[in-house]
Amino acid sequence: MLRLFNTSTKKIETFHSVNRNVVTIFTCGPSIYQRPHIGNFRTFLFEDVLVRYLRYSGCEVKRGMTVTDIEDKAIAEALKRKVSLRNLTDKNLEGFIGEMKLLRMAIPDYLPRSSDYVNAAAGIIEQLLSAKVAYWHKGNVYFDPLKFPGFGKLFGLDMRRWPSQKRRFHKDTYPGIQWNLGDFILWHGYKEGDKNFWETRIGKGRPSWNVQDPSMVSSYFNETLSFYCGGIDNLYRHHDYSLAILESLKPYPMARFWLHCHHLSVNGRKMSKSKGNIYYTDSLTKKRYSISEVRFFLICCHYRKKLNYSDKAMLTAVGKFRAFRKTMDKIRKKARKTASCGQVARTLKHVFTEKMDNDLDVQGAFDELNDIMSNMNVSGVSPGEAYLVIEALKEIDEVFKVFF
């Protein structure tokens, strides 16, 4: 059975779906003020592998991915480029979906944009105000974490550090990985000259990033999600904010499993514009790596471990991958649909399932498959056995999407 590390409980647990008929997943998607880089895609690809493996295991899956198109950064970027917010985000969303398809990712069943759920966000804020966990201050609305029992439980925040003096944080996002120990903003009230605002039941303004994901999630699923996923940076503020908002209003937990993917760095350093080391998918294809090789590199390191991109690391990973493909091609040339015991094919599927059931150990699964394939006497493999091996690898590749 599938066992996964649950960030909420800080331990490996056997997975059981909340809804026996369908596995429900929501994931934190892109903030489309700019183009996603390979670090973003590492997280999106881990989530893609999760969805594909659940389907491989026989589950029906419904997945949503949030798309943030209203926030401080997007507004500033649109102003900088002298374009409308909608034009900026439309173009970036189109590019993002194109790259998802290029990387052979399954497009989520739901791709809601936060700008389409402003009224839903306003409705949530209205309920939070009524519940007195949120309040107005100088035209904005803030959430008071001290009014939510167990705030910070996902991260494991030590609330003894909370300041006694009232503090408010006004921005959608803050740089770096740290906690803002104070009240966080839910609603940016309209100010004279604002170009991006909506007329809602709570007045003119726009929802903060913090309330946008809850507004989208609750519009699709009215029950505890089986999974909520994102990058490890979301563990600082964002996911505990979302959890506190929804669980202040709902009589059930937001999600049963919380999964988080670790960072990708470049040559041991965080990617940033100032360092000039941001890599995109075409940064790697320009180095003459195929899209399958890019996808392989980004999924093969265990999702809970840091992944470091360097030319040496990429060459090492791709070298193993190309050797595997070379052996696979030799076997494919021999394949013919005839009678065979299929022992090797069964072994391939067994080791694949065994490793993937162990917290989605893609690297371990590939290494086991590679050992079997590299030790195979290809010249002695019968056409029937070769056919079944290729068929087994095709089934496995419905998860990896790199071999064929």
Q: 140-174 burial, b if ≥16 CB within 10 A, otherwise e?
A: bbbbbbebbeebbebbebeeeeeeeeeeebeebee
CB 9 within 8 A of CB 260: no
Residue 125 burial (10 A CB sphere; 0-12, 13-18, 19+)? buried
- Joined tokens for residue 37: 């880089």
Q: If pLDDT is split at 50, 70 and 90, which confidence band does 25 have?
A: very high
pTM: 0.96
Least confident of 116-120, 153-157, 339-343, 398-402: 339-343
The pLDDT of residue 258 is 98
- Output the CA–CA distances (angstroms, integers) from residue 303 to 46, 55, 142, 264, in the order listed: 6, 19, 34, 10
Residue 171 and residue 19: Cα distance in Å, rounded? 36
Query: pLDDT tens for residues 198-233?
Result: 999 999 999 999 999 999 999 999 999 999 999 999
Q: How far apart are the first and last CA of the chain?
A: 27
The pLDDT of residue 139 is 97
Q: Which amino acid is at 173?
A: T
Q: Could you tell me the domains of the chain?
A: 3-261 (3.40.50.620), 266-400 (no CATH)
> How many alpha carbons fall within 13 Å on the CB side of residue 39?
21
The pLDDT of residue 126 is 98
> How many alpha carbons fall within 13 Å on the CB side of residue 318?
18
Where would I find the beta strands (DSSP E) of 232-331?
Answer: 255-261, 264-266, 307-309
- The chain-wide mean pLDDT, for the chain, equals 96
Cite the DSSP H helix spans in 335-382.
343-356, 362-374
Residue 56 and residue 143: Cα distance in Å, rounded? 41
* Average pLDDT, integer, range 331-341: 89
Residue 80 burial (10 A CB sphere; 0-12, 13-18, 19+)? exposed
The pLDDT of residue 271 is 86
Least confident of 175-184, 250-259, 272-281, 308-317: 272-281
Q: Which amino acid is at 115?
A: S
What number of other Cβ atoms are within 10 A of residue 356's Cβ? 22
